[in-house]
Every structure is written in structure tokens, then in C-alpha cells.
Amino acid sequence: MRLITISKILCMWISVFLSFASVSDEIIWEENKNVFIKLLEVETSNYEHPNTISSDVSNAFLSQISIINSNENEDALLFTSQQISLLSKYLPSALTQAKQNQVVVFSLIKKKSSLAGFLKRDLFTAGSIFIQQNTLTLKVGDVDRERQHGYESVYDPTNQGLVRYDFDFGLDSTSVASKKNTLGLLTHLDGFSTPQQNEVNIVLSKLSELPQIIQQQATSKVETKNTGLTRQEVEQILNEREASSSTHKGEIATKQQTGKSLQQTATESNKTTTKNLEERFKILQNLKDQGLISEQEYQVKRAELLAEI
């Protein structure tokens, strides 16, 4: 009787192991059987692999992908910063090693807290990355798929890590990201396209420009935040101040004609002009420091202001 029981247990373990065994693949990086980056063989054999992209380009591509939630009416980054760093580190070597019939597949995990931190959940995101028709493509299958600890405890009570989830890598053309209320993937930069709900891609020739484009956008945002004005708006302000100064000079001339003493008018005019010039010098210096005008523009404008003294 005891021998029969042991045999049943062994059969159960063998069946569990076989049911969760993956198809032929090559491990690029693995934390455990459910958190990994691998090369997976597929039926299609027309992928443009091996291919080469840099870690910086990988990071720029992955960091621009967001996911829309219809309930929240907003979008958030698909990957966490840790996941982006991990994929950026291993994706270049994976694509270099990949064959024409292999794609890069990944399953990454993140922790999410709710109920003021009392409830903590492990969430999986799985998908595939490949190059086809001169385009880098990301497909997503599982998004924020919750880890089932109860399910694991039944099939792996000794916690030996034998249980392996059957992830959706998004390779099926009809695949839809499993996160409830998911509308699709998107980016906020030109050059990307989303031919399917769970897919985003970009042409390789445009991919190499991404790091520079993102850096330019970040710099522009900082300048706008510091000044609150565009260059055109700053130039308009300078022109308005110059017009205001001319109007003020005209008012002084009118006062002179109405009988105000020449000495008093000259004193007030000098004070006003000096104060106005000081303010314009400060604005001009600030524009130069912010990088909104060139050195040549600065020197020309400075000479004009000095001529008014």
C-alpha cells in the first residue's frame, strides 16, 4: 500500500514537471523558472536575426512604451525602471545570439502593494521581442498577471520551484494582453506604430535616433520649466519692453512741454531709464544663461542696450 502511494506521488511529480516543461529554448538570463529572458524557437524562420542594437537604444525603446487603462482613463509605463534596466542589459546580446527561427521572450515580475501596504502581490509581465522587415517589434501577452501562491503550494508543497507558468508571449496574431480593461500599447514619440492592440514597433533606422530625441525633449522640458516661456515669447516680451520704454520717453517729453522743470524731468527720466536698462540687462543675461539665445545674439543685444546709456 505504501509502495503504491509513493508511486502515485512520483507520477504526480513527473506529470507536473512534464506539463510545465517549455519548448526548446536558450536561457539568456534567469532568476527562476518563471522570471527569465530566453531565446525561443518558433515556426516562423524569416526573422532578421542575428542583429545588433545597443543597450542605450534598447533602453530608449522600452522606456517609451505605455499601456492604457480604460477605467483609469490614463496611461502608465509598461515596464518598471528595474525591468527596463534588465531588458536593456540582456536584449542586445540576445538579438546577437538569436537565429532566424528564434525570438526573444521574457517573463518579468514586479511587486505591487495595496491596502496601505498590507496586501502585496507579485505580478508577471510576459512578451516577445524580435526584428522583422527591418523593424524592432515588441509583443505583449500577459500584463500584470498575478502569481497564484495557492496554486503553487498544491503542486509544489516543498517549494522546490518545479511549478512553471504557461505564459502568453503575444506571438499569436490574435493574442490580446490579459490585463483587464486594457485598450492597448502606445508611445508619445513619433516613429512608433501600433498595428495590433498588444504590439508596438519602430523601424530600425529611426530606432538609432531615439536616445538623442528623448534627451532633446527632456532638455526642452527643463528649460520650459525654468523659464515658463518659449523663445518666441521671450522675444515678444523684449520687444514689448522696448516699446514701453519709448512710450515712457514720450510721456517725459510731454511733461517737459507742460512746464515741469527741466532738471526734475531729466532726473526722473534718468532714474527710470537706468532702472529699465538694468532690468533689460538682467533679462538678457538670464536668456543667455538659459541657452535661449546664442553668444552672438547676446553681444548684439548688449551693444544696443549700452548705446542707450
In tens digits, the chain (309 residues) has pLDDT values of: 455 455 545 555 454 444 444 445 799 999 999 999 999 999 877 899 999 999 999 999 999 999 886 565 667 899 999 999 999 999 999 999 999 999 999 999 998 876 666 678 899 999 999 999 999 999 999 998 998 877 777 777 776 667 889 999 998 766 666 665 556 888 888 899 999 889 999 999 999 899 988 888 777 665 555 555 665 666 666 666 666 666 665 665 665 565 555 555 555 555 556 667 778 778 878 877 777 777 777 777 777 777 776
Strand ranges across the sheet with 66-69: 74-77, 66-69, 182-186
* Number of domains comprising the chain: 2
Same domain? For 201 and 280 the reply is no
Of 147, 182, 180, residue with least CA distance to 163: 147
Whether residue 4 is contained in a domain is answered as no
Same domain? For 252 and 122 the reply is no
Whether residue 164 is contained in a domain is answered as yes
Which residues form the domain of 35? 11-216
Same domain? For 191 and 255 the reply is no
pLDDT at 286: 80
Q: What are phi and psi of 82, to 5 degrees?
A: -65, -40
pLDDT at 79: 95
Same domain? For 203 and 246 the reply is no
Same domain? For 172 and 68 the reply is yes
Whether residue 6 is contained in a domain is answered as no
Q: Are strands 102-114 and 119-132 parallel, antiparallel or unpaired?
A: antiparallel
Of 241, 142, 248, 250, residue with least CA distance to 198: 142
pLDDT at 37: 98
Question: At 306, is the secondary structure helix, strand, or coil?
Answer: helix
pLDDT at 109: 95
90 grid coordinates: 540582456
Same domain? For 69 and 139 the reply is yes
Whether residue 179 is contained in a domain is answered as yes
Same domain? For 170 and 255 the reply is no
Same domain? For 100 and 238 the reply is no
pLDDT at 235: 64
- Angle, in degrees to the nearest 10, between helices 210-227 and 262-290: 150
Same domain? For 235 and 142 the reply is no
pLDDT at 175: 60
Listed in sequence order, the DSSP H helices in the chain are 2-19, 55-62, 81-97, 149-155, 204-207, 210-227, 231-257, 262-290, 295-307
Q: Is 117 left (phi over 0), alpha (psi -120 to 50) or beta?
A: left
CB hemisphere CA count around 41 (13 angstroms): 5
Whether residue 124 is contained in a domain is answered as yes
pLDDT at 295: 78
Q: Is the pTM of this model over 0.75?
A: no
